[in-house]
Structure 1
Amino acid sequence: MAPASAQSDSHSSADRRGPMSGVMVLDVTRVVAGPYCAMMFADLGATVIKVENPDDPDYTRTFPPMVDTAAGPASAFYAQYNRNKRGVTLDLRQETARAAFLKLVARADILVENFRPGVMEKLGLGYEVLKQVNPRLVYTAISGFGRTGPNASRPGYDNSGQAAGGLWSMNGYADRPPVRVGTIIGDLAASLYGAIGTLAALREAELTGLGQVVDISQQDSVLSLTENAVVRYTVANEVAGPLGNDHPFVRPYSQFACADGYVFFGGYTDKFWSITCEMFGEPQVAADPRIDTMEKRFDPAVYEAVVRPLLDRWFAARTKAELEAMAGDRVPLSAIKTIDEVIADPHIGARGMIVDVPMGEVSVAMLGLPIKLSNLGIQPHAGAPTLGEHNQTVFGDMLGMAEADIAAMCARKAE
C-alpha cells in the first residue's frame, strides 16, 4: 500500500474511456452479486451510478480489510467491487427519492438490481413501471433463484447457490463431507453471466429501441459450472460426488507433492506423456506396455499401481520452480501458488491483473479486469465512492435539482 499519486487522486470516474463510454448504468445492488457486474461496466468506460439508502447502505462498507484514511476507515473489500462508480444516496421508499430515481431511469441504458423478486415492485419501481419511463432500458435482475419458478421468492446467498446448484456436493474428498468452494463462486458467476446477458440485451436495445429483463439466478449460474455432472447423470445415471484433486476419468490430471509444496500436472495425452518421460530422463517408460496408451493410463487400477508412483517419485525431489522450469512450454505443469506468490508472479503483472486503486490518500493493490481489449490500453482507476459522494454531481448537475432539495432528499434520518 503506497501513497496515491496526484494523477490517481484527481482522476474521476467520468474521465474513463472505453467501449462502454456513453452508456449509463444505474447500480441498485449490494455485496458482490451485482456490484461486480456493474463495476465491470465501469471498468470498460460506462458511467455507473451506485444508488444506496442513506440509512442502510451497502454493508460491505464495513467488511475487512479496512484502510485508514483521513476521512476514517474504508473497506478495501467494498472498494474492490465498486471502483470507478459514482455514488448517490436515495431512500426509494420516499416519494421525492422515487421521482428523482425515475428521472435517472429515463436517462439510463441499464439498471442492475439484486433484490429478491418483488422488492422493486413493492417500491413502485418494477420493470413494468420503468419501461413506461424508458422503453429501451435493459433491466438486469440478479437473485438467488431467479424471477420465475417455485423457489423464486426464497432468499439466497453465495452458499445457497453452491448448495442448490450441485457444486457443493461435488467438492471435497469422497471419504469426507462435501466442502464449499473456497470463494464466493456463486456471486461471481452470477455477476459474470449478468454482464454477458446485459451486453446482449443492450445490443438488441440499440438495434430495436426495446429493452428487456435479464433474469440471472445464482443457482442457475452455479449449475452451469458443474462441467460433465449433468450428462454423466442423464446418460449414464452416475451421480457426481467429491473427487478431491482428481478428474473423473482423465489421468494423470491432479495435484502432486513436490519438495516445497504442490503442483498441478495434466500430461494425460500420449504426446504429453512421452515428453514427460523424456523430461525426467526415463524415455523408455513411455513404451511400457502397461501404460503406453492414454486409455490404459485412464484405468484407475493401472493409474494407482504404475502411473502415480512414477510421478510421485519424479516430483518429490524437485521444487515448484524447478518443475515449472523443466516443463516450460512443453507440458501442462503449474505450481499451486499461494495468493502472495500469485501477486508476485511476473506474468500476472504483465497481464495487468493487479491494479492500484486510490483509497483516500493511499493506493491499494486490487484485482484488475480479466477482459483485455486491444484498443483499450491501460487506464488509471478512480476509487469507490464514499456514501453519497456524487449527490450534487448527479442530482444537481445532471438533473438540475436545487442544492437545498438535494440535501433534504438525500439526508440521513435523525437517529
Structure 2
Amino acid sequence: MESRKLFCGVRVIELASVLAGPGVGQFFAELGADVIKVENPASRGDVTRTWKLKDEADGDVSAYFASINWGKKSIGLDISEKVGLEILYKLISKADIVIASYKPGDAEKLGVDYQSLRKIKKDLLYGKITGYGSDNPKVGYDAIIQAEAGFMSMNGDPDGKPVKMPVALMDVLAGHHLKEALLLAYIHRLKTGEGNEVSVSLIEAAVASLVNQGTNWLIAGKVPSRQGSSHPNIAPYGDIFTSKDQREIILAVGTDRQFSSLCNCLGLSNLCSDELYKNNAVRVRNRQDLFALLQAAISTYESKELIHELNKLKVPVGIVQSVNEALEMPEVKSLMLEGHAVRGIATFAGHFHNEKEKNPHLSPPPHFGAQTREILSAELLMSDDEIQNLQNLSIIA
C-alpha cells in the first residue's frame, strides 16, 4: 500500500467549519480518505469561503478556505430539514469517522450528536471540537482562547500591549490533538471493533501547549511576561540582531558549547570565561549587557557571511524571513499543493521512507456543493428527478 493512501477506503463526514475541524478533515484526505464536507445551503457553506483579503478575487474558494479544504467533496445539504437529515444518516451509515464542531447543545438539537449517530453506525468514530468542553455553552474563538490561555500575556514587547499571534494557532493545536485522539480511537476499533466518541476543547489544547511557560509558574513561581522574542530560560535564544546589511538575524544558542563557538566566530572568545557570561544561568541574568556586546560584533558582518560561518560551527542561526521567502525554501517544497489554479500547503508534514511523491491524489478545495449531485447519485442511487426535487425544495444546493 502506498503510504499516502493509508486511509484509502475510509469514509469521513465533516460536519465542521472554519479551521480546527476542517484541518482534521484535510489531514485524513491527505492520507487517502474519502472526505465529504457537509455544508449548509442557507449560508452558502463554510463561513471561511467569505473570509477574504480586501483585494482578493471573487469566488467561493477564498485563500482562507483553501488553507484547510483540499481533497474533499462538498455537498450542500440542509440537515435541519427531516429529508436532509435522512440523507445525511444514509451517508453516515457508510462512514467511518465524523468530525463535528458545534456549539454545545446544537448537535443534539440537529440529531447529529454521537449518541444519535451510533444508532446508525455502531462502530462509528466521532471526533468533536468545542471551545470550553461539552458542559460550557460559551462560544470558543481562537483570539479569545489566545487571550484566556495566557498566550497573549506573553506575546509582545515588554513595554507594549498583549499581542495576538497572526495564525489561529489554538485552532491548529486543537486540530492536532483531535487527530491524535481519532487515530487512537481508530487503533482501538481495529483491535476491538468498537466505535467511540473523542473530544477536544480549544482551551485544553491551548493550556496543554504552554509547556515550559506553564511550568515556569508551576515549579519556579515565575509568571511569564512579555519580553519580545527572547527566551525566559535561555540566552542568547530568540534574540534578534541586525547585520551590516540590515538583515534581522535570530540566534538560538542552547548550550555552553554553542555559545563558545559563537563567541569565537565573532572574536569575543573572552566572554566564554567571563563570570557574567560563562554559563546559561548567568547569561540569562545578564542578557541585556550580553545583547549589546553581541549586537556590536554582529553589526560588522554581512548576513550571508555570518550565517555561513555559524552554520559551519553548528551554531543555531537564521534570518527573519517573510512568508513568501519561507515558502520558497527547498526544504518545504514537498508541502506545496497546486491544482486548478489554486495553491495551498499540506497539513501533514510527516515523511514515509518509501514515498515517491506527496499527495498526488489530492484534489483542490471544492466549490460549494460541487459534488452534491455526484454523491446523491453514486452513493445513494438517487435518480435525476429525485435530486431535482430536493433542489426545488432547497434541501440541497
Assess same fold via TM > 0.5: yes
Indicate whether 1:372 and 2:351 are aligned.
yes
Which whole-Å deviations, capped at 9, do the CAs of 1:174-193 have from their partners, x for residues lacking one?
A: 32221111211111111111
Q: Hey, what's the Cα distance between the residues in 1 that align with 2:324 and 2:364?
A: 23
Q: For the Cα contact (< 8 Å) 2:241–2:250, is it kept in 1?
A: no
Q: For the Cα contact (< 8 Å) 1:171–1:243, is it kept in 2?
A: yes
Q: For the Cα contact (< 8 Å) 2:307–2:318, is it kept in 1?
A: yes
Indicate whether 1:290 and 2:290 are aligned.
no
Evaluate the alpha carbon distance shift between residue 397 and residue 73 of structure 1 in structure 2; reply closer, same or farther with a 3 A threshold.
closer
Matches within 5 A, 1:403-414: 403-410=384-391, 413=394
Specify the SS of the correspondent of 1:395: helix
Indicate whether 1:226 and 2:210 are aligned.
yes
Which whole-Å deviations, capped at 9, do the CAs of 1:278-297 have from their partners, x for residues lacking one?
A: 22234343233432233332
Q: Hey, what's the Cα distance between the residues in 2 that align with 1:316 and 1:412?
A: 69
Indicate whether 1:279 and 2:270 are aligned.
no
Q: Hey, what's the Cα distance between the residues in 1 that align with 2:11 and 2:176?
A: 19
Instruction: Compute the displacement of 1:128 (Å).
Output: 0.7
1:109 corresponding residue in structure 2: 96
Indicate whether 1:118 and 2:105 are aligned.
yes
Q: Hey, what's the Cα distance between the residues in 2 that align with 1:324 and 1:200?
A: 42
RMSD: 2.3
2:336 corresponding residue in structure 1: 354
1:160 aligns with one of 140, 144, 147: 144
Q: Which amino acid aligns with 2:208?
A: S
1:236 corresponding residue in structure 2: 220
1:8 corresponding residue in structure 2: none
2:365 corresponding residue in structure 1: 384
Q: Hey, what's the Cα distance between the residues in 2 that align with 1:59 and 1:320?
A: 43
Specify the SS of the correspondent of 2:200: strand
Specify the SS of the correspondent of 1:344: coil
Specify the SS of the correspondent of 2:12: strand
Matches within 5 A, 1:181-220: 181-220=165-204
Specify the SS of the correspondent of 2:241: strand
Which whole-Å deviations, capped at 9, do the CAs of 1:148-180 have from their partners, x for residues lacking one?
A: 3xxx21111111211222212221123222111
Q: Hey, what's the Cα distance between the residues in 2 that align with 1:338 and 1:312?
A: 22
Evaluate the alpha carbon distance shift between residue 235 and residue 289 of structure 1 in structure 2; reply closer, same or farther with a 3 A threshold.
closer
2:47 corresponding residue in structure 1: 59
Instruction: Compute the displacement of 1:331 (Å).
Output: 0.7
Q: Hey, what's the Cα distance between the residues in 2 that align with 1:241 and 1:312?
A: 24
Q: What is the identity percentage for the equivalent residue pairs of Structure 1 and Structure 2?
A: 26
Q: For the Cα contact (< 8 Å) 1:34–1:113, is it kept in 2?
A: yes
2:229 aligns with one of 230, 241, 245: 245
TM-score between the two structures when normalised by the length of structure 2:
0.90
Instruction: Compute the displacement of 1:86 (Å).
Output: 0.9
Evaluate the alpha carbon distance shift between residue 397 and residue 50 of structure 1 in structure 2; reply closer, same or farther with a 3 A threshold.
same
Specify the SS of the correspondent of 2:93: helix
Q: Which amino acid aligns with 2:382?
A: M
Instruction: Compute the displacement of 1:347 (Å).
Output: 2.4
Q: Hey, what's the Cα distance between the residues in 2 that align with 1:303 and 1:243?
A: 12
Q: Hey, what's the Cα distance between the residues in 1 that align with 2:210 and 2:294?
A: 28
Q: Hey, what's the Cα distance between the residues in 1 that align with 2:295 and 2:17?
A: 46
Indicate whether 1:97 and 2:84 are aligned.
yes
Instruction: Compute the displacement of 1:25 (Å).
Output: 0.4
1:396 corresponding residue in structure 2: 377
Matches within 5 A, 1:31-180: 31-56=18-43, 57-65=45-53, 72=59, 74-148=61-135, 152-180=136-164
Of the structure 1 ranges 18-27 and 396-405, higher mean CA displacement relative to structure 2 is found in: 396-405
Indicate whether 1:309 and 2:295 are aligned.
no
Indicate whether 1:255 and 2:255 are aligned.
no
Instruction: Compute the displacement of 1:323 (Å).
Output: 2.6
Q: Hey, what's the Cα distance between the residues in 2 that align with 1:35 and 1:73?
A: 16
Of the structure 1 ranges 24-33 and 384-393, higher mean CA displacement relative to structure 2 is found in: 384-393
Indicate whether 1:318 and 2:301 are aligned.
yes
Specify the SS of the correspondent of 1:215: strand
Which whole-Å deviations, capped at 9, do the CAs of 1:225-278 have from their partners, x for residues lacking one?
A: 222233232333332222211111211112222232312212241110111122
Specify the SS of the correspondent of 2:98: strand
Q: Which amino acid aligns with 2:304?
A: A
Q: For the Cα contact (< 8 Å) 2:342–2:364, is it kept in 1?
A: no
Count residues in correspondence: 387
Q: For the Cα contact (< 8 Å) 1:90–1:410, is it kept in 2?
A: no
Evaluate the alpha carbon distance shift between residue 410 and residue 125 of structure 1 in structure 2; reply closer, same or farther with a 3 A threshold.
farther
Of the structure 1 ranges 77-86 and 362-371, higher mean CA displacement relative to structure 2 is found in: 362-371
Of the structure 1 ranges 286-295 and 186-195, higher mean CA displacement relative to structure 2 is found in: 286-295
Q: Hey, what's the Cα distance between the residues in 2 that align with 1:410 and 1:137?
A: 29
Q: Hey, what's the Cα distance between the residues in 1 that align with 2:393 and 2:252?
A: 56
Specify the SS of the correspondent of 2:127: strand
Specify the SS of the correspondent of 1:242: coil
TM-score between the two structures when normalised by the length of structure 1:
0.87
Evaluate the alpha carbon distance shift between residue 60 and residue 338 of structure 1 in structure 2; reply closer, same or farther with a 3 A threshold.
same
Q: For the Cα contact (< 8 Å) 1:355–1:368, is it kept in 2?
A: no
Q: Hey, what's the Cα distance between the residues in 2 that align with 1:377 and 1:412?
A: 47
Specify the SS of the correspondent of 1:55: helix
